[in-house]
Structure 1
Amino acid sequence: MLLSIESSCDDSSIALTEIESRRLVLHKKISQEAEHARYGGVVPELASRLHAVDLPRLLESARPYFNDIKAVAVTNEPGLAVTLNEGVMMAKAFAAFQKLPLVPVHHLKGHIYSLFIEKPTRLPMIVILVSGGHTMILRVKGLEDMEILATSLDDSVGESYDKVAKMMGLGYPGGPIIEALAREGDENRFELPVPLRNSPLIAFSLSGLKNAVRLVIQELGGPEGMSEQDRRDLAASFQKALIAHLIQKSRKLLAKEAIPDVALVGGASANLAIRGAVEALCAQYGKRIHTAPLEFCSDNAAMIGRYGLDALAAGLTVAPEDLRVNPSRKLKAGMKL
């Protein structure tokens, strides 16, 4: 079996995947959302301390399988340095003690491989990745052949949902809250700008939309002055503009890409309104749409393990003493993952 570990942000998770069959034998996850909610977002130092407690507890649940583990896969980039270190140090200690190879995993590659949990790998694909930290479109031809076609110039989709929820005086994480409010709101009440609507640039930018929401909140008297209907309508109007932006820029790429398979992955891909819009876009261009099960959209060790299987088969392993954490790297169009 392959042991996999994920700790790039605020979710502690481990998984065991059978190497030969790709069967997910064990998957455990502890979310820190409740602890961070009181601060309105993730506090890195708090997240690190929680990982230090939760990861060993999760690993203990895999003890009956320790003798069957043949390799360890762990997220080592990108993410918060203090949280990545918790998972990497545990992986290095376990691998060194058991004399096992380590598979370093890029977190975003893990999201792509969430499509293939307990399934064969199916590539090439055009991948639309929308998460708390990233918004991008990639052309994925193989395990080590992933090119970024478009990325965000500022805020990601997930980050924008969280910030809008915070400005409205709502809880954390903001994505599910805004999505739920939007279902009951009038998306046409507030005319919000669609970012880069008249720009030929194929990229994503949500800081201007977020600022437009802030101005509306001020006009309504701030979070305290807003009625429940105000919140519903503003959530719906914000989501409408965001999706219009996401689809407009995605359309420009899909129109010229010959690859027939398109995937939507990342934590924000669990948003059903976003899913529906991307599905409609794919239908328009005759593309086959692929999504991960909802339980594997957010950060999890099962997706890290699934990428780890293919990386292990390709010999992409390192010795424990050679594994390093790479917390951040500016990702731009034209770059390879």
Structure 2
Amino acid sequence: MILSIESSCDDSSLALTRLADCKLLFHTKLSQDSHHSPFGGVVPEIASRLHAENLPLLLSKLTDFLRTLTPSAPLSPLKAIVIANRPGLSVTLSEGMCMANALALSLNLPLICLNHLKGHIYSLFIDTPHAHISGGLGVLLVSGGHTQILHMRDYEHITLVAQSLDDSFGESFDKVAKMLSLGYPGGPIVESYAAKHSGALLPMPIPLLRDKRLSFSFSGLKNAVRLEILKAQGITENGAQSIVEGGALEELRAQICASFQEAACAHILNKLRIYFERYGAHFTHFGVVGGASANAFLRAKIESLCHEFDKRLILAPLEFCADNAAMIGRLACEAYARRDFSPLNDTISPKSLAEDFLRDCGVGI
């Protein structure tokens, strides 16, 4: 079995995966949401310190599990140590890398360094020994740091088709929640407020609506939310206090959240429609991954689109949408089979490396 470590942002996670059949044997995770919520987003220094505290605690739990299998030598079944060393926050990636190096060196095991985003793709295949989809797999990755369309033929052929020009889908939810003083993480909070609203929506721009490029952008939509909030504050300053106090304030928040979510998801769907029309002949399945893929409104819209284009939709289990070590372990099964080992090092990267994804978006996608 292999031990995988995830510390790319604000979730500390360890997992054990059996190499023979890619079965997830053990998974543990500690979230930092309550620590970052007062600040409306992740504070890197706090995240780094908490990883330093949490990772040893998780390793102790993992060792206790292994002790039930091999009491005298609990770590002896391990065949490799796996770490997601890119992309992410440098100060948090470093914490995971320190643990990975220490374990690999002390146990004399190979080290496998992997791309965290590829791990999200493999969240679709946790507990599944066969990850290859012969007809091709299109993927939407939506998280706090990334919004991408990826195309996968197999482990070695993953093409980056489109990505955001500025904010990510998940980041925009966090920032809208912060502007409305709703807390962090913003994704589930904004979604829950949006579900409360059933009336008229505020006019929100759908980004890049007439632009046929496969790119995403959320900064303009985020600014439109800011302007709506300023408009409400302006009314308050003119004396109409009831509009943004008490129940009216909650109604306004719900209306803004619903309007924003509708426009953000419409933007995603518009770009996916272009991708389906342009490259639909090259894939039979479509997956949605990443922390923000837990959004039920977005999932329902994409399900309808897949039905329209006769594509089979596959989704990661909700517990494995956000960052986790289980998906890194599943990806590592493929790397281990290819002996794709890494030298002991402290190399981390806040961005994906150029060689991580293919860039050819032509017919040979």
Structure 2 match to 1:245:
267
Q: Contact conserved, 1:186 with 1:232, CA < 8 A, in 2?
A: no
Structure 2 match to 1:179:
191
Greater CA radius of gyration, 1 or 2?
A: 2
For the aligned residues, what is the CA RMSD? 1.8
1:92 to 65, 80, 101: 101
Which string of whole-angstrom CA distances, capped at 9 and with x for unpartnered residues, describes residues 187-215 of structure 1? 64201000011112221001000000100
Q: Indicate how the Cα distance of structure 1 residues 235 and 330 shifts in structure 2: closer, same or farther if over 3 A, else same.
A: farther
Residue identity matched to 1:320: L
After superposition, residues 216-235 of structure 1 pair within 5 angstroms as: 216-221=228-233, 225=244, 227-235=249-257
Which string of whole-angstrom CA distances, capped at 9 and with x for unpartnered residues, describes residues 161-187 of structure 1? 000000011110010000001111146
2:117 matches 1:117: no
Structure 1 match to 2:331:
307
Matched residues in 2 for 1:27 and 1:288: separation? 28
Q: Indicate how the Cα distance of structure 1 residues 201 and 188 shifts in structure 2: closer, same or farther if over 3 A, else same.
A: farther
Q: Contact conserved, 1:152 with 1:205, CA < 8 A, in 2?
A: yes
Question: After alignment, is 288-297 or 120-129 more displaced?
Answer: 120-129
Residue identity matched to 2:299: R
Residue 73 of structure 1 aligns to a residue in which SS?
strand
The runs of 4+ residues in structure 1 deviating greater than 3 Å are 222-226, 329-336
Structure 2 match to 1:254:
276
Instruction: Kindly state the Cα deviation for residue 334 of structure 1 after the two structures are TM-superposed.
Output: 6.4
2:313 matches 1:289: yes
Q: Could you state the TM-score of these two structures normalised by the residue count of structure 2? A: 0.88
Which string of whole-angstrom CA distances, capped at 9 and with x for unpartnered residues, describes residues 284-329 of structure 1? 10001010000000000000000001011011111324x5111225
Structure 1 match to 2:300:
276
- Gaps in structure 2 of 5+ consecutive residues: 68-73, 361-365
Which string of whole-angstrom CA distances, capped at 9 and with x for unpartnered residues, describes residues 120-149 of structure 1? 213330111101100010111111211111
After superposition, residues 1-337 of structure 1 pair within 5 angstroms as: 1-63=1-63, 64=67, 65-119=74-128, 120-123=130-133, 124-186=136-198, 188-221=200-233, 225=244, 227-257=249-279, 258=281, 259-321=283-345, 324-329=347-352, 335=359
Q: Could you state the TM-score of these two structures normalised by the residue count of structure 1? A: 0.96
Instruction: Kindly state the Cα deviation for residue 256 of structure 1 after the two structures are TM-superposed.
Output: 2.4
Q: Indicate how the Cα distance of structure 1 residues 307 and 256 shifts in structure 2: closer, same or farther if over 3 A, else same.
A: same
Q: Contact conserved, 2:112 with 2:342, CA < 8 A, in 1?
A: yes
Residue identity matched to 2:16: L
Q: Contact conserved, 1:148 with 1:333, CA < 8 A, in 2?
A: yes
Aligned residues: 335
Instruction: Kindly state the Cα deviation for residue 67 of structure 1 after the two structures are TM-superposed.
Output: 1.2
Q: Contact conserved, 1:185 with 1:234, CA < 8 A, in 2?
A: no
Matched residues in 2 for 1:51 and 1:10: separation? 8
Residue 16 of structure 1 aligns to a residue in which SS?
strand
Matched residues in 1 for 2:199 and 2:209: separation? 18
Q: Contact conserved, 2:157 with 2:357, CA < 8 A, in 1?
A: no
Matched residues in 2 for 1:173 and 1:60: separation? 28
Instruction: Kindly state the Cα deviation for residue 330 of structure 1 after the two structures are TM-superposed.
Output: 8.5
Residue 319 of structure 2 aligns to a residue in which SS?
helix
Which string of whole-angstrom CA distances, capped at 9 and with x for unpartnered residues, describes residues 21-70 of structure 1? 21111100000000111111101011001000100110111222411111
Matched residues in 2 for 1:235 and 1:187: separation? 12
Residue identity matched to 1:88: M
